[in-house]
Amino acid sequence: MVTPATPDPDEALWLNPAEKEAWTGLVSLVLLLPGRLESPLQHDAGLTLFEYLTLSHISEAPERRLRMSELAYLANGSLSRLSNVVKRFEQRGWVERTPDPADGRYTLAMLTDDGYDVVVAAAPTHVRSVRELVLDPLTAEDQEALARIAAKLRTRPADLA
């Protein structure tokens, strides 16, 4: 009986042309698209993409309140980065932080009415960019495929599942 050879973990498993094309496309999206989405936000609303996503996620949460840990995940930033941004937002009167009444170990970020006004004013710029750069060039089938692929590649911390 012949047993299959165990692959050498030190040997590179090079990408074939189709795999390389898929990987190059993905890495290009990951690296280039955020800057293209951020530029109009900076110009029209004075917000970075991270700042907009932070405000947007809080605005969509029940009672416009969200745990900082969940917000960091949703906005794709570290807790320390998020804390710095939220501190600036607090100084502008856009966000307030309070202990989570359900579990005092967590902190909630709450969007104020002024903060809500900021995100509502910036949203059309962001949506226009998303449509122009992502959705409009794709067919409905492409959009469905993109959603399926994103679901397959997504990771989520266990406490946020």
Distance of CA 112 to the CA centre of its chain: 21
Q: 5 near 93, Cβ under 8 Å?
A: no
> pTM, whole model, 2 decimals?
0.83
pLDDT tens digits, residue range 96-147? Answer: 999 999 998 999 999 999 999 999 999 999 999 999 999 999 999 999 999 8
Query: Cβ contacts of residue 71 below 8 Å, gap of 6+?
Result: 54, 57, 58, 82, 109
Amino acid (1-letter code) at residue 54: T
Residue 147 and residue 161: Cα distance in Å, rounded? Answer: 18
Give the tens place of pLDDT for each residue, 79-99: 899 999 999 999 999 999 999
